[in-house]
Amino acid sequence: MSDTIFIKGLALHAFHGVMAYEGKVGQGFNIDMILTIDLAASAKSDKVKDTVSYDQVVAVATEAFLGKRFKLIEAAGGAIADAVLARFPRVSAIEVTIHKPHAPIAAIFADVGVTLRRARR
């Protein structure tokens, strides 16, 4: 199957990170998600009941990301992937990318982050 729903650039402020000050001050993160889903039914019916609603995906991802303080964005991304797969049975796989553009790195860089891919077994 090659159908996808994507959400790019979800901007959230959170307190994730290994450094103590990251837990106090927080920083901005950007999240991209690509959901693998069969869209044949919704393409024919034109009804939201036959797909997954973007706003619900955003709500579930936001709750998972902000629900606790993670030291690693790898763990935060895993929480998002697990939550989306648990909540939306139509989604067969998800790719989550978390961008941490203000990571505490002593260098000039455009972006750093992680991408996780999870699928139903």
Q: Say how far apart CA 43 and CA 4 lie, in whole Å.
A: 12
Only one residue has tokens 């203000």, namely 102
Q: Which of 10, 97, 83, 9 is nearest to 52 (CA)?
A: 83
Which tokens is 85 given? 């797969």
- Give catalytic status of residue 100 as yes or no: yes
User: Which residue in 8, 44, 49, 100 is the catalytic one?
Assistant: 100
What does the alpha-carbon distance between residue 89 and residue 121 come to, in Å, rounded to a whole number?
Answer: 12
Phi, psi of 117 (to 5 degrees): -120, 130
Sheet of 91-99, strand order: 4-14, 27-37, 91-99, 113-119
Known catalytic residues are: 100
